[in-house]
Amino acid sequence: MPSHISIKDPSLQKIADKVLSDTPRRITPEEGKLLFEKASLSFLGMLANHIREKKHGNTTYFNRNFHIEPTNVCVFSCAFCSYSRLYANKEDGWELSIDQMIDIVKKYNDKKATEVHIVGGVHPKMNMTYFTELIGKIRETAPHLHIKAFTAVELDYMFRKAKLTLEEGLKQLKAAGLQSLPGGGAEIFHPEVREKIAGDKVSGEGWLKIHEAAHNLGIPSNATMLYGHIENFEHRIDHMLKLRDLQDLTGGFNTFIPLKFRNENNDMSNIPESTQIEDLKMYAISRIFMDNFPHIKAYWPMLGRNQAQMTLSFGVNDLDGTIDDSTKIYSMAGSEEQNPSMTTEQLVQLIHNAGRRPVERDTLYQVIEDHGMPSQHQMN
């Protein structure tokens, strides 16, 4: 990898010098916006891959996980959402009982899964007591599983309804067995955009406060950003800057996950989806700008296998997990993967085909199995 490259544009040259320096320097929000506006895909890929390989070499992480979605019935009506059904009009919705969800968990007891990921709609009858009981029963049924559960949107509603502070609510869930938070519900923090696409749920500031409180209690989390709809480059940088600032403060984020807006079956179907080039630029700039985030993840069920594989050359070092056809959130929005399931062998092959080293991890990035670099035969 070059320690220096020559670029005609002096402003981009300055950014390249910062990134490629022996002592890399953080790029500013203004420089981040400039990358969106002026940088070529090849330039961004070169810088992002340099950072990715400096942090992780060829290692690409994945885990064996499955999703439980308790309900798609929701009190909120986000314009971008294809998944939820309003509580007042829920013919097309589902509501799982605790016993039904425990039965799902039991199916994975002999499949070497290490994580259960629980998110869903905000159902008015699924309250703090309900979810505390659910978490406790999962812990009893499968003590080996890491429980990653509830977006900040779900937690905000849950805690307000129970009249609990953030700290009180999180302590109760942690005591029941909650171990980390997913990154969902972040969307775009800037109120100018958030008001238009998700105005009735927790604010960007509220999302950040919940994750800060979790980090302070020793509960790590992920972070996301929904991009490619009505936001502009300034909104994206503002979002990432807020996350970067909180990470400076707490160090509690594991990974950043850019999420591509999908336009099927929602109130924003008139908005064209971002192109593949725009997607790759988004991942690359995320890796360049989010210098204090250890990992950048591409959620393959949303992007599709082939494009997720391509992101491994644009800063991404994590492809999430096996999923096992247990999530409907993106398939209902028209994602590339309508039946999102990959075996461990398929994921390993996908990563090997990109010339990378597949490493199975747990939720906190402890290595479970290193599958090694691909042979020439595996790459063909």
Task: Indicate which CATH number applies to the domain containing 242.
Answer: 3.20.20.70
Residue 3 forms part of a structural domain: no
Residue 264 forms part of a structural domain: yes
**Residue for token pair 């991009």:** 227
pLDDT, tens digit, for every residue of 71-103? 888 876 666 665 454 544 555 677 899 999 999
pLDDT for 320 equals 84
pLDDT for 116 equals 95
pLDDT for 326 equals 47
Q: Is 330 exposed, middle or buried (0-12, 13-18, 19+ CB in 10 A)?
A: buried
**Residue for token pair 């747990």:** 362
130 & 189 share domain: yes
**3-class secondary structure, 53:** helix
Segments in the chain forming alpha helices (H): 10-20, 29-38, 41-56, 98-107, 128-141, 152-162, 166-176, 191-198, 204-216, 233-250, 276-289, 300-303, 305-311, 344-353, 376-379
* All residues at 6 or more sequence positions from 355 whose CB lies less than 8 Å from its CB, including other chains: 58, 374, 379
44 & 165 share domain: no
38 & 138 share domain: no
26 & 150 share domain: no
Q: Are strands 85-86 and 59-63 parallel, antiparallel or unpaired?
A: unpaired
- Structural domain range at position 268: 59-379
35 & 153 share domain: no
Whether the CA torsion 158, 161, 166, 168 is positive or negative: it is negative
- Stretches where the chain sits below pLDDT 50 are 1, 83, 85, 87-88, 325-335, 337-338
d(CA 327, CA 67): 6
pLDDT, tens digit, for every residue of 270-281? 899 999 999 999
Q: What are phi and psi of 153, to 5 degrees?
A: -65, -45
Six-digit token string for 22: 């022996």
142 & 36 share domain: no
pLDDT for 380 equals 53
pLDDT for 335 equals 44
d(CA 198, CA 194): 5
d(CA 10, CA 25): 17
Do 373 and 367 touch, CB atoms closer than 8 A? no
29 & 119 share domain: no
32 & 95 share domain: no
**Residue for token pair 């990992």:** 295
320 & 213 share domain: yes
Pick from 49, 56, 51, 55: nearest CA to 370: 56
Bridge partners, 149 (sequence order): 118
In the chain, how many domains are there?
2
15 & 126 share domain: no
Residue 311 forms part of a structural domain: yes
195 & 169 share domain: yes
pLDDT for 82 equals 55
